[in-house]
A = this chain, B = another copy of it.
Amino acid sequence: MVKILPMSIAKLGEFGLIERFQRQIKTDASVIKGSGDDCAVLAYDKNFFQLFTCDMLVEGVDFSHKENPYLIGRKSIAVSISDIAACGGTPRHCVISIGIPRKTSIEFMDKLFKGMLDLAKIYKINLVGGDLSSAKNLVVDVSMLGIVEKKNLVLRSGAKAGDIIFVTGSLGGSIKGKHLKFTPRVKESATLVKNFKVNAMIDISDGLSQDLGHILNASNVGAIIFEDLIPLANPARNLDDALVSGEDFELLFTLSPKDAKEVFKKKFKFFPIGEIVDKKYGLRLMDKRGQELILEPKGYRHF
């Protein structure tokens, strides 16, 4: 007899598992946008929506146990701030759950917490609660609330063929430590939504190609990006670091050609890297020799 082993989630993949869950969820009219964007968007008041997001950092996955605890704490807050910025909003309140190995020193926890507090202070975020639990490995999960003016809300789904694709900064520095020290692009997001109609936006937390892929899927479009235009971080060794190696936490966004011209004219420091095209072209890279390659969206996947 053949024994049928239960299918593991690795077979389905991270995004397969997420989709499997999403399909079953129904939400009511208070939910403007549920699962599937950088933040959930909830009805709030006449002029604002509320943004709601969560991010879990796990020892051995998002950081090593030898990492500076101050930077772990800092990052745990920064990743959620980045999600709020990616929707055009301002972070306001957060709660923090921490699973802590019993042998952890007080000194370690003090540093972890200081990393959280310092960043929260800079961004005027209220730490309003939490839950501490014992655990075998350190786990930090931050849930954050923000607000966004209704007219400023940006989702992944609004990119249009002809849009110019931009990023807010250089890519590929993640593996050299940027993923622990990045500056969430709240100011840049505020500048963008104040001055332009941003059609689509996401923060790059899984690599340019994968996160651009999310915009393309949500917007039902394709894209071509140009190797020559991609701003590489100094420590980046090659283009692959930018395309697939994860956590740069720059914002990736698209503007109409008219708005894009304004970016250049007014000398905003945003970097154009390509153009949104019809869906049938998929995702393509024009390399330095002028050859078009079809890019498979790739990046960090948990399973």
- A residues whose Cβ falls under 8 Å from a Cβ of B: 6-12, 14, 17-18, 20-21, 24-25, 27-28, 30-31, 34-37, 39-40, 42, 45, 52-58, 60-62, 92-93, 95-100, 102-110, 113, 117, 124, 126-137, 139, 141, 143, 145, 302-303
Task: State in angstroms the CA–CA spacing of A37 and B61 once bound together.
Answer: 32
| Minimal Cβ-Cβ distance residue in B for A28 | B126
A6 touches B107 (CB 8 A): yes
B35 touches A130 (CB 8 A): yes
Please name all residues of chain B whose beta carbon is closer than 8 Å to the beta carbon of A12 when the two chains form the complex.
106
Please name all residues of chain B whose beta carbon is closer than 8 Å to the beta carbon of A39 when the two chains form the complex.
129
Task: State in angstroms the CA–CA spacing of A97 and B57 once bound together.
Answer: 10
B303 touches A130 (CB 8 A): no
Task: State in angstroms the CA–CA spacing of A136 and B93 once bound together.
Answer: 29
Task: State in angstroms the CA–CA spacing of A201 and B294 once bound together.
Answer: 60
A34 touches B128 (CB 8 A): yes
A61 touches B135 (CB 8 A): yes
B137 touches A93 (CB 8 A): no
A97 touches B137 (CB 8 A): no
Task: State in angstroms the CA–CA spacing of A117 and B40 once bound together.
Answer: 17
A139 touches B102 (CB 8 A): no
CB distance from A133 to the nearest CB of B (A): 5
**A30 and B130 in contact, given A54-B97, A135-B139 (Cβ under 8 angstroms):** no
| Minimal Cβ-Cβ distance residue in B for A95 | B54
Task: State in angstroms the CA–CA spacing of A7 and B104 once bound together.
Answer: 8
6 of the cross-chain contacts (CB-CB < 8 Å) are: A10-B102, A28-B124, A28-B126, A35-B130, A40-B93, A57-B133
CB < 8 Å: which of B6, B10, B52 contacts A145?
Answer: B52
Please name all residues of chain B whose beta carbon is closer than 8 Å to the beta carbon of A126 when the two chains form the complex.
27-28, 30-31, 34
CB distance from A103 to the nearest CB of B (A): 6
B113 touches A21 (CB 8 A): yes
A100 touches B134 (CB 8 A): no
Please name all residues of chain B whose beta carbon is closer than 8 Å to the beta carbon of A7 when the two chains form the complex.
105-107
A105 touches B6 (CB 8 A): yes
**A128 and B42 in contact, given A102-B10, A134-B58 (Cβ under 8 angstroms):** yes
A18 touches B62 (CB 8 A): no
